[in-house]
Amino acid sequence: MARYRIPVVDAGAGPPMWSEEAEYIVLHIPELRGKSERELFAVRVHGDSMEPTLKERDVVVFWTQGAVEPGRIVAVHVHWDGVVIKRLQRHGDTWYLYSDNPEHPPVPLHEADKVLGVAVNLVRKI
């Protein structure tokens, strides 16, 4: 089974950094087989915008090489709020960031925002 050591950031913080100062999580997840550690990072969920799919303190693993497609859960570095986890949707020529919690309205993806990766795994402490 493959062992992965990947950086973790908190939602709302800056992009993940591959440095000795970063917080890391070590995972043994078969589904990640074939992916390089350098292509993976994790984000710790804060807030309720992605409930019921994602809960406070969940850790979501993202793949930087994943296909950015409508309906996928993505980590985005937004120009106004650091890294957020949202569902990506497209209407016409405009991409939007949607929350699974209907109390949070969709937000258009701004040209200064950058999709960092696509969700590939969830780590939930029970």
Q: Residue 50 CB: number of other CB atoms within 10 A? A: 23
- DSSP H or E run through 24: strand 23-27
Q: Tell me: pLDDT of 45 over 80.
A: yes
The CA-based angle 106-82-84, given to 5 degrees, is: 40
Give the percent of the chain with pLDDT over 90. 57
pLDDT tens digits along 51-63: 999 999 999 999 9
pLDDT tens digits along 71-88: 999 999 988 778 999 999
> Which pLDDT belongs to residue 3?
80
Domain 4-123, CATH 2.10.109.10 — does that match?
yes
Q: What residues are paired with 122 via a beta bridge? A: 60
pLDDT band at 18 (very low <50, low <70, confident <90, very high): low
- Residue 86 neighbours by CB under 8 Å, 6+ apart: 49, 50, 73, 74, 76, 97, 98, 99, 107
Domains of the chain by residue range: 4-123
